[in-house]
Amino acid sequence: MANVKFIAVSRGLRGIVDYVTNREKTVEQLISGVNCVARTAVPEFEAVKKQFRKTEGRGYYHIVQAFAPDDPLDFTTAHELGVKLAEHFEGYQCIVVTHMNTAHIHNHIIMNSVNFETGMKFHQSAREMQQVKEYCSQLCREYGLSVTESKADPFRIPAWKRRLTDHIKEAMEQSRTQQEFVAYMNAYGYDVKWEPHQKYITYTTPENIRCRDSKLFDQTLKRENMELYFRLGGADYLQACREIAYDHREPTPTLEDAVCGMAGRSPRCELTHTLRRGRCPAPPPPARRSASGAVRRNSYRYTRSFAPPYIMVISKP
């Protein structure tokens, strides 16, 4: 997987070239020029600007191509991918440098803002950025690396994401614990990265596409809801919900009904209105006196949620 970002210009052309080619961060073999010679990139950039009288305004673009730490990638291959990405910008001079001093391999691409063939200046637009990301993903697929979804759209769900969603829900219905869930997903061919210190669950499909739980656009599959689901027993919890519904002649709750019902409970609600199965119903709200002194009770009603700790939620009609 590779992420591509256009970095804001923070220094002059000479300064940025000196920074990316610093020998504490890279080596000579990982410095290349595209449509120019790396060692003389700065004067070559400036010569093109003078030739077309485009010496004012933005002088260069700084692009960073960063790879996932767990991708099977060495520095030479990463550099090759950086050169191919630079070649995507036809007619523009670039210097490509691969840095080795961080936990994740990444490329710096410094690109002249003026096209040496046409004299036209490069303008970064949303469309251009999208095309660059799609081309970078194409390169990752060609090299057997994982890719990310270029742009998630809740109204246009691709087939692979629908399959992923269906498999996650199927695994949830069959699993009692997080470990069992991960094992089921692995059996389907998915890799699941569910780490305590990370905010999201990341799935890698058999097609090598990565997707976070937040990009599935389904509240049932959000990390916090799934963690609560498995803390309550997972498949056992769901089965208990369905048994309660059957005993009360209510419609059989789906996975979504059970998860969304429990996710809607606040900690205070759980603390004050949780009743274990087999115990008596929750007591009615306390009586209150009106302004005239008459005793009356609040017009509250009770609703039950499908939870094995039996939940009585008090709400106004």
Percent of the chain having pLDDT more than 90?
Answer: 46
Could you tell me the strand order of the sheet in which 2-7 lies? 2-7, 60-67, 106-112, 94-99, 31-34
pLDDT class for 292, splitting at 50, 70, 90? low
Return the H-helix or E-strand segment holding 164: helix 159-174
Instruction: Please write the tens of the pLDDT for every residue from 120-159.
Output: 999 888 888 888 888 888 888 888 887 766 565 667 788 8
pLDDT exceeds cutoff 70 at 300? no
Instruction: Please write the tens of the pLDDT for every residue from 66-107.
Output: 988 778 889 999 999 999 999 999 999 999 999 998 888 999
Residue 16, classed as helix, strand or coil, is helix
User: What is the pLDDT, as a whole number, of residue 271?
Assistant: 29
User: What is the pLDDT, as a whole number, of residue 182?
Assistant: 95
User: What is the pLDDT, as a whole number, of residue 222?
Assistant: 92
User: What is the pLDDT, as a whole number, of residue 4?
Assistant: 87
Distance CA 281, CA 275 (A): 8
pLDDT class for 200, splitting at 50, 70, 90? very high
pLDDT exceeds cutoff 50 at 269? no
Q: CA 292, 298, 302 angle in degrees (round to 5)? A: 170
User: What is the pLDDT, as a whole number, of residue 283?
Assistant: 43
Distance CA 177, CA 229 (A): 9
Q: CA 279, 283, 287 angle in degrees (round to 5)? A: 170
pTM of the entire structure?
A: 0.57
Instruction: Please write the tens of the pLDDT for every residue from 249-258.
Output: 888 888 988 8
Phi, psi of 204 (to 5 degrees): -120, 120
More confident residue, 86 or 7: 86
